[in-house]
Amino acid sequence: MKTSIRAVNGFRVWDSRGRPTVEVELVLESGITGRGIAPSGASCGSNEAVDLRDGGASYGGYGVARALENVAHLISPALVGLDAMCQASVDARLIELDASSTRDKVGGNALIATSMAVLHAAAETTGKPLWSHLAEGRAISMPLPEVQIFGGGAHAGRRVDVQDFLVMPVGASTFDEALCICADIYRIAGECMEARGGRMGVADEGGWWPNFSSNEEALQVLTGAIERAGYGNGEAMISLDIAASGLYKDGYYRLAMEDRQFDSDAWLDLVCSWVAKYPILSIEDPVAEDDVLGMRKFTDVLGDKIQIIGDDYLVTNVDRVSQAITDGCCNAVLIKPNQVGTITEAKATLDRARDAGWGTVISARSGESEDVTITHLAIGWNAGQLKVGSFSRSERMAKWNEALRIERGGAATKAFSGLGALPIKVRAGQEDAQASGRRSRVAR
C-alpha cells in the first residue's frame, strides 16, 4: 500500500529561543514525506504533555537526545506499515506507547512532531493544501487573530506579572485587514514605549519588552495606542493572558512587581475593575489551574460579557473541558496540540468545546519554529481564532503570512470570523461603531 508508513526519522533542530527541539520526517511507501517540528512552552500547565529533555550541562539541559532515541526505537517500529491516511489509527498507536496525561515516558515533543508529520504526509498524498485536507469540503472562515503587543510573565523575565497584552481586530472584514490593524497598533505601541524611554527590544513571542511601574499601566498604554492608531471605536479590543497559575501561591494571587496580594474574591474584583475601565474582550487563565471555585465565580460574573479562555486550566484535554462545562467554568478553550500529544486528541477537545457553544482558539507556544501547521489547523478546523504571538520575529510572521496566502488563494471562502468567533453577546452599539470606523478608514 503506497500510503503506508515506510520510515519515521527524528532530527534535532532549533527553536526560536535557540534551544533544541524535535523534528520528525515521515516517509511513505510512495516516497511522499511529511515533517513536523515540536514547539515548546515557557508557561506550562502541570497537567499537560511534557517535553522530554536530557538535563545535565549540555544545551542548558534542554537537549532532546532521549526524545530522538524514542522516535527511533519506540515510535518508528510501532508505526511502520500503518496507513498514514488513517490519522486516528496512527495517533491511537502513539497513545498506546505512552497513555499517561503528561506523556513523560516517550515525550510530548516526540509524539506531537510525529503526529504532525503524519498529517502533512496525508495531505501531500491527496494533493491538497493541509487546510483543505482538514476541512474535508466543509465551508471555512478565516480566523480572528490575537496579536501580542506587550510580552510579560514567563515570556519577559516577569518584568510585569500579566503574561500577554494582546489586541483582537474584531472590526476587520478580512484577515488581511485584521493584520493591517494589528500592524498599526504594534508600531504605535512601540513609539509610545520609545517616547517613554521604555522600548527595550522584544519578548519571547515578539511583543515589546515591558517597562511599566504596574500591570495596569500597561493596559493604559495599550489602550492609548489603540486610540492613537484610530481604532478606539471598538474595531480593536484587548485580550489578556494572565497565566494566573504563575501568580498563585498558598491561596493568594500575588502581583510581585507591585508587592500586592489578593484572595480569590479580591482578585476577581481587581480583574473586573480592569474590564470595566479598559476595552477588554477576552481573558485567558484569569485564575490558577486548580482554582475551580474562582473560575466558576469569574465565569458567572463575566461570562456573558467577555471570552474566558482556559489554557493551563484545561491543557487541551477533552475530559477537563467536559468537566469545566459541567462546572460552569470558562466559555472558550485554547488548543495547543503539543499540550496533549497528538492531532487527534487536539481535535477531539476542539469538537467538545464547540459542541458546548464555546469559543475555540488555536495557539502557538513561546518556543516556535518556521512550522506553520497551526495556521492550517485554525483554518481547516474552522476554529474561528488564531493566537500566534506578536507582529515581529519570523517564526511568528511565517504563520500570519501563511494565513494571508490561504485567504488570497481563492479556494478558501472570503468569510472572516471576526467578532462572531467569540462566545459572547455583541456589546450595545459595537457593530455600528465598527462599521463607522471602517467607513472612516476608507475615506482616509
Q: How many whole angstroms separate alpha carbon 324 and alpha carbon 314?
A: 8
The partner residues of 147 in beta bridges, in order of sequence, read 167, 389
Number of H helices and number of E strands within the chain? 15, 14
Q: How many whole angstroms separate alpha carbon 64 and alpha carbon 23?
A: 10
Grid cell for residue 329:
467554568
Relative orientation angle of helices 343-355 and 318-327, to the nearest 10 degrees: 20
Cell 510585569, located at residue: 160
Annotated catalytic residue within 205, 345, 368, 402: 205
DSSP character at residue 235: T
- Contact between 290 and 320 (Cβ < 8 Å): no
**Any residues with CB less than 8 A from the CB of 234 and at least 6 apart, and which?**
170, 171, 279, 427, 429, 430, 433, 434, 437
**Any residues with CB less than 8 A from the CB of 47 and at least 6 apart, and which?**
101, 102, 289, 315, 317, 320
**Any residues with CB less than 8 A from the CB of 242 and at least 6 apart, and which?**
162, 163, 271, 283, 284, 285, 286
For this structure, is 336 an active site residue? yes
- Contact between 37 and 13 (Cβ < 8 Å): yes
CA nearest to 397, candidates 16, 10, 1, 134:
16
Annotated catalytic residue within 297, 336, 347, 387: 336
Q: Which helix (H) or strand (E) holds 310?
A: strand 307-310
For this structure, is 205 an active site residue? yes
What's the chain's Rg over C-alpha atoms? 21
CA nearest to 380, candidates 30, 22, 113, 141:
141
Catalytic residues: 205, 336
